[in-house]
A = this chain, B = another copy of it.
């Protein structure tokens, strides 16, 4: 899409699909990438040729990831410009390599990129995964933690989880709890007035009975109000609830 701002492809890791089989999975991987702002795909020796109509059809809104993908015949060629390469694997391998969780790997990728490095993440073919010869070209391994009794992540899911961790690591995400839409937490003085309002009206209604329990009942009620994460809007609504119940009483009385 020509309207898109020019993005420096080296500012994000390249996701490299090594000998992918089904075009649909390539398209799904493109979608998964774009969900997390990743547009830099490379494809090595796709089984069914390139460009791939099934890939384009599946990618739909993420078509530009495919349009801009770099095609290579050989893995070595595809990652020739990269200074740090991760290989994703499901099983543990006998290769002596650092093994990272997706989170730690993408944190490291962000560091490498910030320091001017160029980073690639390799994803193997759907069934077999990467071969040891592929992994031997990588600097480190990413192992996705899954239930050992049911490790069934497919290609696009593996891309999705890694992309998700990239987005988290690259800091474009608010990790923290967001606010309360359109209103703010009630200040203590407002909670105080609310508690007094209820206490007065309940006193008049004979709520604090029997007498010897009256004090603990007041404390419990007061304690509840102050323990609740009430917003200013909540406080107004709760005043309104009480007022309306009593207005109705007056009308009836």
Instruction: Please give the residue numbers on chain A whose beta carbons come within 8 Å of chain B beta carbons, in ascending order.
Output: 31-32, 34-37, 61-62, 92-101, 103-104, 143, 145-147, 150-153, 157, 160-161, 164, 167-168, 171-183, 198, 201-202, 204-207, 217, 220-221, 224, 227-231, 233-234, 237-238, 240-242, 244-249, 252-253
- Contact between B145 and A168, CB atoms less than 8 A apart: yes
- Contact between B152 and A35, CB atoms less than 8 A apart: yes
Q: Which residue of B lies closest to A251 (CB)?
A: B206
Known: A175-B104, A244-B202. A34 touches B96 (CB 8 A): no
How far apart are the CA atoms of A198 and B242 in the complex, in Å? 11
- Contact between B36 and A178, CB atoms less than 8 A apart: no
- Contact between A181 and B253, CB atoms less than 8 A apart: no
How far apart are the CA atoms of A249 and B206 in the complex, in Å? 11
How far apart are the CA atoms of A128 and B105 in the complex, in Å? 34
- Contact between A241 and B198, CB atoms less than 8 A apart: yes
- Contact between A61 and B152, CB atoms less than 8 A apart: yes
How far apart are the CA atoms of A221 and B148 in the complex, in Å? 44
6 contacts between A and B (CB under 8 A): A61-B150, A96-B180, A99-B177, A101-B174, A201-B245, A207-B240
Give the shortest distance, in Å, between A151 (CB) and chain B (any CB): 7
- Contact between A35 and B201, CB atoms less than 8 A apart: no
Known: A157-B160, A228-B228, A249-B248. A35 touches B151 (CB 8 A): yes
Known: A96-B181, A145-B173, A229-B229. A221 touches B237 (CB 8 A): yes
- Contact between A173 and B207, CB atoms less than 8 A apart: no
Known: A62-B150, A224-B234. A93 touches B181 (CB 8 A): yes
Q: A161-B164, A207-B245 are in contact. List 13 more A-B contacts (CB 8 A).
A: A34-B147, A35-B157, A97-B181, A101-B173, A146-B167, A160-B160, A164-B164, A201-B245, A202-B245, A224-B238, A228-B229, A252-B252, A253-B253
Chain B residues with CB under 8 Å of A160's CB are 157, 160-161
Q: Which residue of B lies closest to A65 (CB)?
A: B150
Chain B residues with CB under 8 Å of A98's CB are 177, 180, 229
- Contact between B32 and A244, CB atoms less than 8 A apart: no
How far apart are the CA atoms of A164 and B161 in the complex, in Å? 8
Known: A93-B181, A161-B164, A234-B224. A150 touches B35 (CB 8 A): yes
